[in-house]
Amino acid sequence: MLDRVRAWLDRTLVGRTEHHDLKHLPAPKTPAGQHLADLRLIVLDLETTGLNPARDEVIAIGAVAIDRHQIPLNDQFDLILRRPELDISETVLIHGIGPEALTKGHETEEALLHLLEWMNGDPILAYHAAFDKKFLEKALRQHLGYGQSHTWLDVAELMPALYPDAKPGGKGLDNWAELFGLACSARHHAAADALLTAELTLIALNRAHKTGINTLSELTGKLRDVRRLNSLKRL
């Protein structure tokens, strides 16, 4: 299925050089009383040249939509950016993206524009979301001059908040995936990691519903309360 999505994106992006007006991109949606069962959520994962957003760059974007508590296999985003000038020598063994792939990738500006259009302003989730948020916001500012703030939720916070008694054996994505018996086709591949994170998110949303959390504002409030409680415990 991901191969078909990539082929569709290739056909869509080739030759698209017309002017885009950033003012007409979908506006980010803010958390309110939207029912989680009716929402479309974006689960995103990035591959980068390193871990420092001040000097490193995004080279691949993988994202999966959750629409009404389902993962539609035809609603995904998977692109390598065309960044042949970047040095990936320190990270190529992790993500497997080499110089040839960066030379054949999609033009960064067009890819980011299509990502914003595809996301449609929907809330974004990621595992250790602060990392992806910093890198994506930097790329959007540098390449598009785009500075709107989207709603982000961290799945690394969401899982322990909704499963406080679980013992995954660690705080990583792999630990939670193993706890729930989830398998990943290719770790450190943006689209595969996004899909795995989306599957965990569905587990979390099901748990949220069972505990009486049914709206986006209630979910963000739950995370805020857990953060506050954890801060008090550290005092």
pLDDT(36) > 90: yes
Can you give the pLDDT at residue 13? 45
CA distance 159 to 162: 5
Task: Give the CA distances from residue 234 to residues 71, 159, 222, 228, in Å, rounded to whole numbers and listed in that order.
Answer: 37, 20, 19, 10
pLDDT(226) > 60: yes
Residue 59 belongs to a domain: yes
Residue 161 belongs to a domain: no
Residue 23 belongs to a domain: no
Is the pTM for the entire model greater than 0.85? yes
Confidence band, pLDDT 50/70/90 cuts, at residue 225: very high
Question: Within a 13 Å sphere around the CA of 31, how many CA atoms are in the beta-carbon half?
Answer: 17
Please tell me the total count of domains within the chain.
1
Residue 135 belongs to a domain: yes
Residue 117 belongs to a domain: yes
Find the helix packing angle between 108-119 and 129-144, rounded to 10°: 120
pLDDT(184) > 80: no
Residue 80 belongs to a domain: yes
Residue 162 belongs to a domain: no
Residue 148 belongs to a domain: yes
Give pLDDT tens digits for 103-145. Answer: 999 999 999 999 999 999 999 999 999 999 999 999 999 999 9
Q: Looking at residue 129, which CATH number applies to its domain?
A: 3.30.420.10
Domain coverage including residue 8: 2-16+29-156+171-233
Range 21-38 average pLDDT: 88
Spacing of C-alpha 204 from chain mean position: 16
